[in-house]
């Protein structure tokens, strides 16, 4: 229904005013959306509930496994309201930021981060309005007031975002608002939870522990948008269930010329660990208003695919854009064309002898290699947790990955993962019967035909649910 059979790279779409109705969501799924992102920086729980209910109805009605990603706001830092429409500033001007709420003037401007004066150091850069304004700390009283010099001026206006790329901030990654939102999220069938402004693996672990405390199955995506995250990237990838390269804030906080290489390096590291990765922010930004993408946007999407990303994510394009369905259709065409030239042989995952899952990893990776060698039509994997699917996908085989599970949340989560087509299956009697069943299901769904080869993998005996420990080649009759 949604084009996944023609492509491997998945599409994540952010829900907003332009896409929150049942009909709009259905149209996006039909166009090719695999996962919907709920941005908890905006909207009430009641509004998000309506969207969740609609997605569930669509999945039930059309027998789909569209995933749901809840994106926590994280510690957003902003300046307060300014007199009038704000005012122009130029290089050399002096400003004072205070942590006591006030109406901003040229004399003093409120900043929402209460530890600002404590955390910043003289010489550090402060960035406003996505890089339009650059300031430098001159002095701080270490209590409630900081004097700054304007390095690059512009028109400064109310409630603009603040980035602190050189400051070691003490604010927790989970704010009070995030915790309130998390309490709600954990009552819902959410598949992925994105943690904003991650700096260390420890922050990721804390969120995972909170999720496990209530017995929820949601997986955690770490958003990479801080320089500190780059410094701890290996540990963060190891701890996380997924990674999002959030190029908006990351592009403000690190030198812009480093973004392309960072994207490639992070994707490569995720492939090696079997960790799903999303490339996000401004992929098709011009289509918020225009019916067609720019040439640069076409190349950006294609390059993300060629880098090996699991998914590409749309934000304003589908949340508030004029052409949400056209965006998905255009992105689908770009992905399909890019995948014709897809070659990640040098980046393919390898099993590490140091890993506690080494033997299972060997089976999963060799399922991909075997499928390529015999030109199989697909790999049919059986999983409960989804681990088998993650690992097989990380090899990036040339065929489709058909994953069977009786765990509905797992199947929805796998809608984010490269090349995976999920199927519900709950008749785990014997290995031979199950292989025969899944082969028949794939044949009836026209995914395979007589004479095709399948590579089967899973655990034996099935009812014991061990780690992946078998691999078999099946000729479809």
Would 82 be classed as within a structural domain? Answer: no
> Residue 69's closest CA among 191, 184, 174?
191
pTM, 2 dp: 0.93
For residues 389 and 358, state if they share a domain. yes
For residues 243 and 262, state if they share a domain. yes
For residues 322 and 413, state if they share a domain. no
Would 275 be classed as within a structural domain? Answer: yes
For residues 228 and 316, state if they share a domain. yes
Q: Which two tokens stand for residue 155?
A: 């028109």
Domain stop point among 115, 138, 163: 163
pLDDT at 4: 63
Element (H, E) at 222: strand 219-224
Would 79 be classed as within a structural domain? Answer: no
For residues 104 and 192, state if they share a domain. no
For residues 214 and 67, state if they share a domain. yes
- What is residue 164's DSSP assignment? -
Helix axes 387-394, 259-273, angle to 10 degrees: 130
Would 279 be classed as within a structural domain? Answer: yes
Q: Which two tokens stand for residue 207?
A: 């969120």
Domain stop point among 311, 339, 367: 339
Would 67 be classed as within a structural domain? Answer: yes
Q: What CATH number corresponds to the domain at position 413?
A: 3.40.1380.20
Find the angle CA(166)-CA(260)-CA(204) to the nearest 5 degrees: 55
Q: What CATH number corresponds to the domain at position 266?
A: 3.20.20.60
Would 133 be classed as within a structural domain? Answer: yes
pLDDT at 432: 84
For residues 205 and 103, state if they share a domain. no
Catalytic residues: 37, 78, 223, 281
For residues 200 and 98, state if they share a domain. no
pLDDT at 428: 77
Would 427 be classed as within a structural domain? Answer: yes
pLDDT at 378: 97
Parent domain of 398: 348-475
Q: How many CB atoms lie within 10 A of CB 147?
A: 14
Q: What CATH number corresponds to the domain at position 96?
A: 2.40.33.10
Reading the chain (477 residues) residue by residue, the pLDDT tens digits are 555 678 999 999 999 999 999 999 999 999 999 999 999 999 999 999 999 999 999 999 999 999 999 999 999 999 999 998 899 999 999 999 999 999 999 999 999 999 999 999 999 999 999 889 999 999 999 999 999 999 999 999 999 999 999 998 898 889 999 999 999 999 999 999 999 999 999 999 999 999 999 999 999 999 999 999 999 999 999 999 999 999 999 999 999 899 999 999 999 999 999 999 999 999 999 999 999 999 999 999 999 999 999 999 999 999 999 999 999 999 999 999 999 988 777 677 888 888 888 888 999 999 999 999 999 999 999 988 898 999 999 999 999 999 999 999 999 999 999 999 999 999 877 788 889 999 999 999 999 999 999 999 988 766 566 678 889 999 999
| Phi then psi dihedrals of residue 93, to 5 deg | -65, 155
For residues 236 and 323, state if they share a domain. yes
Whether residue 461 has a cis bond before it, omega within 30° of 0: yes
Residues 6+ apart with CB under 8 A from 266: 224, 233, 237, 243, 245, 277
For residues 179 and 97, state if they share a domain. no
Domain stop point among 163, 188, 212: 163
For residues 354 and 331, state if they share a domain. no
For residues 257 and 210, state if they share a domain. yes
pLDDT at 6: 84
pLDDT at 469: 84
Would 80 be classed as within a structural domain? Answer: no
pLDDT at 94: 97
Residue with tokens 């491997």: 8
**Number of domains present in the structure of the chain:** 3
Q: How far apart are the first and last CA of the chain?
A: 26
pLDDT at 271: 94
């Amino acid at each position: 229904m949604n084009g996944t059979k023609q492509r491997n790279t998945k599409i994540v779409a952010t829900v907003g005013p332009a896409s929150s109705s049942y009909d709009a969501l259905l149209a996006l799924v039909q166009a090719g959306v695999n996962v919907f992102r709920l941005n908890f920086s905006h909207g009430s729980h009641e509004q998000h509930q309506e969207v969740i209910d609609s997605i569930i109805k669509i999945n039930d009605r059309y027998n789909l496994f569209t995933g749901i990603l809840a994106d926590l706001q994280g510690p957003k830092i902003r300046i307060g309201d300014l007199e009038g429409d704000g005012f122009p500033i130029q290089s050399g001007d002096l400003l004072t930021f205070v942590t006591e709420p006030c109406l901003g003037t040229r004399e003093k401007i409120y900043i929402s981060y209460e530890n600002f004066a404590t955390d910043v150091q003289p010489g550090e850069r402060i960035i406003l309005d996505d890089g339009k304004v650059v300031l430098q700390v001159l002095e701080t009283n270490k209590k409630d007031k900081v004097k700054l010099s304007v390095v690059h001026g512009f028109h400064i206006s109310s409630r603009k975002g603040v980035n602190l790329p050189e400051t070691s901030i003490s604010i927790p990654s989970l704010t009070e608002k995030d915790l309130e939102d998390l309490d709600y999220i954990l009552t819902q069938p959410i598949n992925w939870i994105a943690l904003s402004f991650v700096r260390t693996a420890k922050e990721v672990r804390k969120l995972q522990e909170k999720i496990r405390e209530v017995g929820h199955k949601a997986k955690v995506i770490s958003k990479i948008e801080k320089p500190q995250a780059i410094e701890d990237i290996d540990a963060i990838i190891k701890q996380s269930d997924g990674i999002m390269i959030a190029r908006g804030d990351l592009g403000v906080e690190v030198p812009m010329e480093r973004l392309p290489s960072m994207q490639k390096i992070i994707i490569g590291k995720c492939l090696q660990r079997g960790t799903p990765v999303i490339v996000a922010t401004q992929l098709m930004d011009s289509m918020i208003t225009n019916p067609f993408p720019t040439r640069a946007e076409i190349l950006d999407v294609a390059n993300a695919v060629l880098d090996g990303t699991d998914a590409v994510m749309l934000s304003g394009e589908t949340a508030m854009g004029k052409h949400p369905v056209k965006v998905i259709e255009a992105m689908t065409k770009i992905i399909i064309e890019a995948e014709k030239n897809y070659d990640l042989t040098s980046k393919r995952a390898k099993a590490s002898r140091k890993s506690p899952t080494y033997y299972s990893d060997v089976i999963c990776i060799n399922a991909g290699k075997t499928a390529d060698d015999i030109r199989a039509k697909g790999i049919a994997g059986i999983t409960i947790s989804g681990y088998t699917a993650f690992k097989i996908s990380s090899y990036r085989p040339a065929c489709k990955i058909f994953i069977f599970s009786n765990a509905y949340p797992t199947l929805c989560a796998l809608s984010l993962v490269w090349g995976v087509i999920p199927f519900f299956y709950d008749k785990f009697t014997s290995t031979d019967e199950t292989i025969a069943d899944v082969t028949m299901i794939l044949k009836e769904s026209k995914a395979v035909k007589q004479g095709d080869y399948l590579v089967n993998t899973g655990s034996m005996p099935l009812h014991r649910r061990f780690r992946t420990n078998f691999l078999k080649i099946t000729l479809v009759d």
